[in-house]
Amino acid sequence: MISRRGFLALLLASGCGVEVSGERLTSGLPLPPKFARPLTLPKTARPTSPGRYVVTQRPARMEIIPGTTTEIWGYDGTFPGPTFDLRRGEQAVVTIRNDLTVPTSTHLHGGVTPADSDGHPMDLVVGTVRPHHAGATLHERTKDYVYPLDQRAATLWYHDHRMDFTGPQVYKGLAGFFLIRDDEEEKLGLPSGDRELPLMICDRSFEPDGSFRYPALDPTLLLRHGVRPEFMEGVVGEVVLVNGVPWPHHEVEAVRYRLRLLNASNARRYRLALRPGGAFTQIGSDQGLLERPLTRDTITIAPGERYDVIVDFARYPVGSHVTLTDLLSGDVMRFTVTRRGRDDSRVPARLTNPQPVDNPVARRTFDFRVRDGVWAINGSPYLPGRSVAAPRLGTTEIWRFVSDFHHPVHVHLGRFRVLGREEQGWKDTVDVRPYETVEVAVRFDGYRGRYMLHCHNLEHEDMAMMTDFDVV
Ligand code: C2O
Ligand code: CU
Ligand code: CU
The secondary structure of 47-63 as a DSSP string is: -SBTTEEEEEEEEEEE-
Beta strand 123-126 pairing with 137-140? parallel
426 vs 447: CA distance, rounded Å: 18
Which residue type does 6 have? G
Taking the centre of ligand 2 as the mean of its atom positions, its distance from the CA of residue 180, in whole angstroms, is: 15
161 vs 458: CA distance, rounded Å: 9
Q: Which CATH superfamily is domain 193-339 in?
A: Cupredoxins -  blue copper proteins (2.60.40.420)
* Residue-level pLDDT at 19: 64
Ligand at shortest distance from the CA of 110: 2
**Span 103-113, average pLDDT:** 98
- Fold annotation for 363-471: Immunoglobulin-like (2.60.40)
Taking the centre of ligand 1 as the mean of its atom positions, its distance from the CA of residue 239, in whole angstroms, is: 23
Number of the ligand 1 atom closest to the C-alpha atom of 157: 1
Taking the centre of ligand 2 as the mean of its atom positions, its distance from the CA of residue 107, in whole angstroms, is: 6
Ligand at shortest distance from the CA of 453: 1
Give residue-wise pLDDT tens across range 410-454. Answer: 999 999 999 999 899 999 999 999 999 999 999 999 999 999 999
Ligand at shortest distance from the CA of 369: 3
pTM confidence score: 0.95
The CATH class given to the 52-183 domain equals mainly beta
Are the C-beta atoms of 252 and 191 separated by less than 8 Å? no
Q: Which of the four pLDDT bands, split at 50, 70 and 90, describes residue 118?
A: very high
The secondary structure of 354-367 as a DSSP string is: --PPPPPSEEEEEE
101 vs 395: CA distance, rounded Å: 41
Give residue-wise pLDDT tens across range 245-259. Answer: 999 999 999 999 999
Give residue-wise pLDDT tens across range 45-81. Answer: 999 999 999 999 999 999 999 999 999 999 999 999 9
Q: Report which protein residue has its CA nearest ligand 1's atom 3.
A: 109
Domain limits, CATH 2.60.40.420, in the chain: 52-183, 193-339, 363-471
Beta-bridge partners for 339? 253
Close Cβ partners of 9 (under 8 Å, ≥ 6 residues apart): none
Give residue-wise pLDDT tens across range 7-47. Answer: 444 444 444 434 667 899 999 999 999 999 999 999 999 99
Residues whose Cβ atom is located within 5 A of ion ligand 3: 407, 455, 457, 460
The reply to whether ligand 1 has any atom less than 6 angstroms from the CB of 161 is: yes
Percent of residues, the chain, with pLDDT higher than 90: 92
Least confident window among 9-18, 309-318, 341-350, 367-376: 9-18
41 vs 147: CA distance, rounded Å: 24
